[in-house]
């Protein structure tokens, strides 16, 4: 059947299982929008800024496990999604971004709203395509989705010239994708699993480290089985929160710069670390030469370039996290059948030591009884929701307090920008999450600085009747920057105080058609917060918290994990 390029694109999206597209129209994509408005199966969500479209597609992908899709015009529309693509790339999130482009004969002529978006996004996408031949469009879309969701997931961009959208050709759907230069390894090498099992069998102080790859490969069940059946404690990166239940006795909490005392001490004293789907980035390792000084390291990752990138590894295992953890479990069970091993007894002293560290230095904060502490607010949210909400965060102190004081028990319920640290991510991501999980309460834990970077997306939530709650931990500062200025820059709070330049967040919410609440006292926290969180409408909850509260523990830049600053 003959179809126009615009129609072929929409048909390809549907065949890839897409049912929702986040976008913003413009001249170079008008032909796609002309057909999209008539399509009865594809839902389009009109955002208020292209960056919001990219983050919403990202949030949708993280919460659903599917590929998120955004659609924008050429020129500034395309450049406006670059931060969103970089965010998804840093955290390995499957997103397909479709950008309009000027007519093919105008490319390279500095035409109106022309940019080389393929060149611009080469460093922050897994791959990108410029459509040059309409007959290859269906194959291009097929390859883009295959690349986005397979191997180590990531964003892929399709740049689509306007003249090809109106041309017609026969639509032929490629039933399979063959990319000779791209063959991710899913099944781990059995010999490597046996080597890993040998190290585990002699280890007295093992530690499982769960990264975001455990969540993206849906390997939480396999991780739990390995930890429980072989009595191994678990820590996680920021991106790995939810991979292992936060209320499980074996869970030590997050490690790293703002990790728990027990988790960071465990890394320092462990004799074996089994890392799955983690990158060993600088916020996790602290000073590299002091990281896990007593430990051998088993590193499981589907991306071979991530292994030995930052830390030396004793047993590399290239493969899908779920398959690798399950395979390791089977190898250990086979060893046990031949030579029984009392795992619980061999790790008892280690688990006892970890409990002592946890009890000696739990996550805590001081309360003066007058001002609300941000940690206290996060604990109240946890208590009121019963741990059943899904959370997004902005970036800054709010992100770290959420990571520390929320108990995340399920994968895909803590959605945050980890690798890039993108302020303004949380609200548009929450929109994508709410579309992915329409029956769940979605809360964006925000700061008064970062929420203003994409506040316009509150209109998107209102127009679509999304009951998203934006909880602002309002300390009138760019809090994380102020904390560094206090600790390392002689209390020189250079351009971080926002007290005189803040909007009235309650009135701002009402101007957008949302509800607005303000909480300033413990009594209001107890009385107003439950009402606000149970409202069926989108809402901003402006909570005035202590202005100069810091996030602790904190490992200063360049310090070792056991050189934590504590409360």
424/450 Cα distance (integer angstroms): 5
Question: Which residue's structure tokens are 């200063």?
Answer: 556
Q: Say what the pLDDT of residue 222 is.
A: 99
421/87 Cα distance (integer angstroms): 8
For residue 525, which of 510, 500, 546, 509 has the smallest C-alpha distance? 546
Among this protein's residues, is 112 annotated catalytic? yes
What is the torsional sign of CA 197, 201, 203, 207? positive
Q: Say what the pLDDT of residue 401 is.
A: 99
Mean pLDDT within 286-295: 97
Annotated active-site residue in 11, 16, 50, 222? 50
pTM above 0.95, yes or no: yes
Among this protein's residues, is 495 annotated catalytic? no
Q: Say what the pLDDT of residue 1 is.
A: 87
pLDDT digits (tens, 9 = 90+) for 348-377: 999 999 999 999 999 999 987 778 999 999
Distances (CA, A) of 384 to 307, 379, 381: 41, 9, 5
Mean pLDDT within 157-168: 98
* Res. 500 pLDDT band, cuts 50 70 90: confident
Segment holding 139, helix H or strand E: helix 137-149
Q: Say what the pLDDT of residue 32 is.
A: 99
For residue 335, which of 187, 220, 193 has the smallest C-alpha distance? 193
Residue 112 DSSP SS3: coil
Contacts of residue 425, defined as CB under 8 A and 6 or more positions apart, other chains included, come to: 55, 58, 87, 392, 393, 394, 395, 416, 417, 450, 454
**Do 400 and 254 contact (CB within 8 A), yes or no?**
no
Q: Say what the pLDDT of residue 369 is.
A: 75
pLDDT at residue 412 is higher than 80: yes
Q: Say what the pLDDT of residue 73 is.
A: 99
Mean pLDDT within 81-85: 99
Residue 236 DSSP SS3: strand
Mean pLDDT within 471-486: 98
Mind spelling out the 3-state secondary structure of 96-107? EEEEEECCHHHC
The Cβ-side half-sphere exposure at 564, using a 13 Å CA radius, reads 25
Mean pLDDT within 119-128: 98
pLDDT at residue 499 is higher than 90: no
Residue 126 DSSP SS3: coil
Mean pLDDT within 521-548: 97
What percent of the chain clears pLDDT 90, i.e. is strictly above it?
A: 97
Contacts of residue 207, defined as CB under 8 A and 6 or more positions apart, other chains included, come to: 232, 233, 234, 235, 266, 267, 270, 272, 273, 274, 295
Q: Say what the pLDDT of residue 433 is.
A: 99
Annotated active-site residue in 51, 101, 162, 222? 162
The Cβ-side half-sphere exposure at 401, using a 13 Å CA radius, reads 30
**Do 405 and 378 contact (CB within 8 A), yes or no?**
yes
Segment holding 273, helix H or strand E: strand 272-276
Annotated active-site residue in 3, 459, 480, 564? 480
* Res. 28 pLDDT band, cuts 50 70 90: very high
516-531 exposure pattern, b = at least 16 Cβ within 10 A, e = fewer: bbbbeebeebeebbee
What percent of the chain clears pLDDT 70, i.e. is strictly above it?
A: 100
Mean pLDDT within 451-472: 99
Contacts of residue 196, defined as CB under 8 A and 6 or more positions apart, other chains included, come to: 274, 298, 315, 317, 328, 331
Q: Which of 141-150, 248-257, 339-348 has the lowest mean pLDDT?
A: 339-348
Q: Say what the pLDDT of residue 72 is.
A: 99
Q: Which of 47-51, 59-63, 107-111 has the lowest mean pLDDT?
A: 107-111
Mean pLDDT within 189-196: 98
Q: Say what the pLDDT of residue 368 is.
A: 77
**Do 538 and 462 contact (CB within 8 A), yes or no?**
yes
529/471 Cα distance (integer angstroms): 10
Annotated active-site residue in 14, 112, 167, 344? 112
69/30 Cα distance (integer angstroms): 17
* Res. 284 pLDDT band, cuts 50 70 90: very high
pLDDT at residue 309 is higher than 80: yes
**Do 244 and 236 contact (CB within 8 A), yes or no?**
yes
For residue 467, which of 496, 494, 444 has the smallest C-alpha distance? 444
* Res. 92 pLDDT band, cuts 50 70 90: very high
Distances (CA, A) of 478 to 114, 449, 492: 36, 6, 13
Among this protein's residues, is 548 annotated catalytic? no
Residue 491 DSSP SS3: coil
50/62 Cα distance (integer angstroms): 19
Contacts of residue 489, defined as CB under 8 A and 6 or more positions apart, other chains included, come to: none
Structural domains in the chain, CATH included, are: 2-170 (3.40.50.970), 190-360 (3.40.50.1220), 374-544 (3.40.50.970)
Segment holding 297, helix H or strand E: strand 296-301
Segment holding 269, helix H or strand E: helix 261-269
Question: Which residue's structure tokens are 């896990």?
Answer: 292
Helix extents (H) in 406-478:
426-436, 458-463
530/494 Cα distance (integer angstroms): 37
Mean pLDDT within 162-186: 95
Q: Say what the pLDDT of residue 367 is.
A: 84
**Do 271 and 254 contact (CB within 8 A), yes or no?**
no
52/55 Cα distance (integer angstroms): 5
């Amino acid at each position: 059947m003959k179809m126009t390029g615009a129609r072929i694109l929409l048909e390809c999206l549907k065949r890839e299982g897409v049912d929702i597209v986040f976008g913003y129209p413009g001249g170079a994509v008008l032909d796609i929008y002309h057909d999209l408005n008539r399509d009865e199966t594809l839902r389009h969500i009109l955002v208020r800024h292209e960056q919001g479209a990219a983050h919403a597609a990202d949030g949708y992908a993280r919460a659903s496990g599917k590929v998120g899709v955004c659609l924008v015009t050429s020129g500034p529309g395309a450049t406006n999604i670059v931060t969103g693509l970089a965010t998804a790339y840093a955290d390995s999130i499957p997103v397909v971004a479709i950008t309009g482009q000027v007519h093919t004969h105008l490319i390279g002529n500095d035409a109106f709203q022309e940019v080389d978006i393929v060149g611009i996004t080469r460093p922050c996408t897994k791959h990108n395509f410029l459509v040059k031949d309409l007959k290859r469009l269906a194959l291009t879309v097929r390859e883009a989705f295959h690349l986005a969701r397979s191997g180590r997931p990531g964003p892929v961009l399709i740049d689509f010239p306007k003249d090809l959208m109106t041309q017609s050709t026969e639509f032929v759907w490629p039933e399979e994708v063959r990319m000779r230069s791209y063959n991710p390894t899913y099944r781990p090498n059995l010999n490597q699993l046996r080597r890993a099992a040998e190290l585990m069998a002699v280890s007295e102080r093992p530690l499982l480290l769960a990264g975001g790859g455990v969540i993206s490969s849906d390997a939480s069940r396999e991780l739990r089985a390995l930890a429980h059946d072989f009595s191994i404690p678990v820590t996680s990166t920021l991106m790995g929160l939810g991979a292992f239940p936060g209320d499980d006795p074996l869970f030590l909490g997050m490690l790293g710069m703002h990790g728990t005392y027990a988790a960071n001490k465990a890394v320092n004293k462990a004799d074996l670390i089994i890392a799955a789907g983690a990158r060993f980035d600088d916020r996790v390792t602290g000073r590299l030469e002091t990281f896990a000084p007593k430990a051998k390291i088993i590193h499981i990752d589907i991306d071979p370039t991530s292994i030995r990138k930052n830390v030396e590894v004793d047993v590399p295992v290239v493969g899908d996290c779920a398959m690798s953890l399950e395979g390791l479990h089977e190898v250990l069970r086979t060893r046990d059948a031949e030579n029984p091993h009392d795992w619980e007894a061999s790790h008892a002293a280690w688990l006892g030591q970890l409990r002592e560290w946890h009890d000696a230095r739990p996550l805590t904060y001081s309360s003066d009884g007058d001002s609300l502490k941000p940690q206290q607010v996060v604990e109240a949210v946890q208590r009121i929701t019963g741990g059943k909400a899904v959370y997004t965060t902005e970036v800054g102190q709010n992100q770290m307090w959420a990571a520390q004081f929320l108990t995340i028990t399920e994968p895909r319920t803590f959605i945050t920008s980890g690798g890039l640290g993108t302020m303004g991510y949380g609200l548009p991501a929450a929109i994508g999450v709410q579309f992915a999980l329409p029956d769940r309460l979605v809360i964006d834990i925000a700061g008064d600085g970062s929420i203003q970077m994409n506040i316009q997306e509150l209109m998107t939530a209102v127009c679509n009747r999304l009951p998203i709650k934006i909880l602002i931990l309002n300390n009138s500062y760019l809090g994380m920057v102020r904390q560094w200025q206090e600790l390392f820059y002689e209390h020189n709070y250079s351009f971080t105080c926002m007290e005189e330049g803040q909007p009235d967040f309650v009135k701002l919410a009402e101007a957008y058609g949302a509800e607005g609440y303000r909480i300033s006292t413990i009594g209001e926290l107890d009385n107003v917060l439950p009402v606000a969180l149970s409202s069926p409408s989108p809402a901003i909850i402006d909570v005035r918290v202590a202005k100069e509260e810091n996030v602790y523990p904190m490992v200063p830049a360049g310090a070792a994990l056991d050189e934590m600053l504590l409360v």
